[in-house]
Amino acid sequence: MVVGLPDAPDAPRARLDLGIVCLVFICGIAAALRFTGLSWGAPYFHFHIDEHFVFAGADMLRRSLHEAATSSKFFMYGPLPMWMLNVIRDVHDWLLEPLVLTVKRDQVIYMVMGRAISAALGTACVPLVYVIARRVAGRTAGLIAAFLLACAVVHLRESHFFSVDISMLFFSVVAWLFALRMADTGRFPDYVAAGASLGAAVACKYSAAFLIGVLGVAHLCAPGRPRRLADARGWLHWIARGVTPLLIAVLVFVAVDPMAILYRAKFSDDITYWVVGPNSGTWKPIFIAQFTDVQPHLYWFTNLLWWGLGPALEIWGLLGVLWLIVRRDRLSLVAAAFPVAYYAAAAQGIAPVMRYAVPLAVGLAVPAGVLCADLLRRPRLRLVSIAITSVVCGTTALYAAAYLNVFRSPDSRLTASAWLLANVPRDSKILVEPSQNTPPMGSYLTAVVFNGDYVLWGDKNGARTRHDYYWLHTLDTYRFLYNPGVADEVRQRYIDSRLPLADWIVMDDTFLQFYQHLPEATHSVAKQYYRDLFAGRLGFQLVATFKVYPSLFGRTINDDAAELTFRLFDHPRVFIFARKELAARLTTGS
């Protein structure tokens, strides 16, 4: 780590080159951390269901705007990443053979292609953060901020997924940079560029609207505000200039997402039902059950940032935000506005999943870099500053290296699939839950169809059976057991009727974790089922467990306490139970 690089404009050219070399090296680290393991889990697209909706949306947009816009949940996700993927796919198909999404090799290529967009944009955020922090507090601040973002776990993790978060963040950081330029010079082209970046960010993910607050602070800080209240013409000009980014943003958004206008009713329904509803508590689907017993506002600090960034970066970044406010210069206030505005907007929801913390990786890396650089300039605090900077940077880097083990290691679900093939005979009867993390079996393992749905959803009575290499029977923990309209007696009879159908139970920790957070008073039957199952009171015995953890130098980081989706998509735990007589045969090898 290079600290204390001179920030004076007349510094020797050799020193300036050293700073650039350091930045290039940091960007190399960022790229290595983001591009390593991009093929994890491919082509088993259900492993990250949000990612699959973005992939599927892109594929539908190639065929028809109508097909895409009218498909389920389409407007939950902004279309700009989908358009980017389609451009890259068109180039691939023009240079090489067209991808066929019924062929496993092409499915893998398609998934890596999409994830490479996230990895590239995630890597590109690093030099942008350098420019932002350098503009606020000099080159040392820029290098430290860039290094911290390069190694921020939640950021590198999301860069491995083709979801909309990293794309949104990239354009948000561009808008943030132009907001700083607005505050510094007040030039009109910076207002236009900031508005275009805002529109692009919102076209990736609607929560980028928080940037309106950041641009508002930048406009208030910018030079050119009238000095006299009576200057009506000057105030009109100032207001028009301030509104310009919003008008540009609307134009860009409509150009990228005309479906939001053409299919207004569907757009409104998707946003209201799938985005606003769960986050406001209007309805509480089981997939946000892990937040039932937490305080959402504090959870950001006690869990999301703690696990997403590591304690050192979280604490130092938050102190850095306060330091920016204390600095009180225009650029510092705009820099502080980004994390403050984002948290103020995002923390209003009741379901703070881990990916919501990604913008704060950027929002805290810059303040942390500025605080480190400012302290390093003070001779009396230099040794302490070097120690703190080394701890923050070192622990963040070690955590990143440990987390990369998740993408280097065989996926726990595929390891479980191999175990099943080796130990469970064909046509065996298996009870599964309707989870995207169920280990692939049958045709889902051997002949994946990209647009197929392999989750064994229950019917209105919670029943569903499918013969696909094994006899699969569902235990509908998603709807039937969660449905508040079903009496406890009916729930118990349902479980009792499903267990005799199977000799094996294959499950992951998705619903186990959901029900652990739900209240005993309303979900005692399902909670007791899990307690009895793991205690061996249902005639089944746990015979195999599969799990990958962040790990480095033989030391494992147990992240079981992290927010569920931090583990769910890329390293869930898988359990396999067998009837006790079968378990005994496995033990004896007979």
Q: What DSSP line would sit under 70-108, residue for residue?
A: TSTTGGGS-SHHHHHHHHHHHHHHHHSPPP-TTSHHHHH
For residue 457, what are the contacts with CB-CB under 8 A and spacing of at least 6? 434, 464, 474, 476, 478, 479
53, 193, 278, 459 from 453: Cα distances, Å: 12, 42, 23, 15
User: For the ranges 185-194, 222-231, 307-316, 564-573, which has the lowest average pLDDT?
Assistant: 222-231
* pLDDT above 50 for 2: no
Residue carrying structure tokens 């909670």: 527
Dihedrals φ, ψ of 329, to 5°?
Answer: -80, 165
The whole-number average pLDDT for the span 4-15 is 49
- Give per-residue pLDDT as tens, 442-470: 999 998 888 888 999 999 999 999 999 99
- Give per-residue pLDDT as tens, 40-72: 999 998 899 999 999 999 999 999 999 999 999
The pLDDT assigned to 9 comes to 47
* pLDDT above 60 for 12: no
187 is written with which tokens? 């030039």
Find out whether 181 and 190 touch, Cβ atoms under 8 Å.
yes
The pLDDT assigned to 358 comes to 98
* pLDDT above 80 for 392: yes
**Cα–Cα distance, 524 to 472 (Å, whole number):** 26
Find out whether 570 and 158 touch, Cβ atoms under 8 Å.
no
pLDDT classification of 212: cutoffs 50, 70, 90: very high
* pLDDT above 90 for 514: yes
The whole-number average pLDDT for the span 107-133 is 97
Q: Where are the domains of the chain?
A: 13-407, 412-588
The whole-number average pLDDT for the span 401-424 is 97
The pLDDT assigned to 16 comes to 54
254 is written with which tokens? 């409509």
The pLDDT assigned to 14 comes to 47
User: For the ranges 310-314, 370-374, 380-384, which has the lowest average pLDDT?
Assistant: 380-384
The whole-number average pLDDT for the span 378-394 is 95
Tell me which amino acid residue 20 is. Answer: I
Cα 54 to the chain's mean position, in Å?
13
The pLDDT assigned to 3 comes to 46
